[in-house]
Amino acid sequence: MSGILVVCTGNVCRSPYVERLLAAALPGVSVSSAGTMALVGDDIEPRVKAQLLERGVNAMGFASRQLQPALAEGADLVITASREHQRKVLRMAPRAMRRTFTLRELADALAADAPVHADGSGLAGVVARAVALRGRGPSRSDDECTVPDPYGRPGEVVAAMSAYVDETLPPIIRAIEVAGTAPSTGQQ
């Protein structure tokens, strides 16, 4: 398996934003992204890139790529920008079903799993917990599970996308950080 894959439509706004934030917060975890209708080879949309740079996150060296079945099948965790993206991933790579979540669904599942324990299980342990807790969070509409798409839209939508992601990422990052820590033996 190969870490976290983040999926949106064009792979120039939402998925690279999430990818780069996760990569910055989780340096020991491989994070990549792809699009269901990627603008192959394009850079991150300039306003989204500016949001990353404002947060001190590396936005350089990016090239959009098309989602392929092998990418989803090979990922430990697939995070999608919407339920529609989730459905597209699962039509393409049905074996990835257990480990494919919308960003909101994953955040809800992991936020419900407090407290998180340092057990050394890493990303695999986090995915197993999220699978076990899937659906235990609040019932959400498709709109609530959709990261706003700023592509070709006004600046307010870029801000809404950033706010949505900034709200949903903390429980995911915390769970992966803590689970990757070996349990304390109590010995000094």
Domain membership flag for residue 188: no
Confidence of residue 158 (pLDDT cuts 50, 70, 90): very high
Domain membership flag for residue 61: yes
pTM: 0.91
Give the residue-averaged pLDDT of 29-40: 97
Whether residue 94 has a cis bond before it, omega within 30° of 0: no
Domain membership flag for residue 23: yes
Which pLDDT tens digit goes with each residue over 2-33? 799 999 999 999 999 999 999 999 998 999 99
**Domain limits for position 34:** 4-175
Q: What is the CATH number of the domain that holds 98?
A: 3.40.50.2300
For the chain, the domain total comes to 1
The type of residue at 158 is V
Domain membership flag for residue 184: no
Which positions are catalytic?
Answer: 8, 14
Which pLDDT tens digit goes with each residue over 72-121? 999 999 999 999 999 999 999 999 999 999 999 999 999 875 555 666 67
Residue 23, CA distances (Å) to 15, 29, 90, 128, 187 in order: 12, 7, 24, 21, 32
Tell whether the model's pLDDT for residue 43 goes beyond 50: yes
Residue 98 and residue 60 in contact, taking contact as beta carbons nearer than 8 Å: no
Place of tokens 């439509």: 9
For residue 123, what are its two tokens?
């990303």
Mean pLDDT of the chain: 91
Count each helix (H run) and each strand (E run) in the chain, helices first. 7, 4
Domain membership flag for residue 138: yes
Pairwise CA distance, residues 124 & 130, whole Å: 10
Domain membership flag for residue 180: no
For residue 6, what are its two tokens?
């983040």
Domain membership flag for residue 186: no
**Residue 158 CB neighbour total at 10 angstroms:** 22
Domain membership flag for residue 39: yes
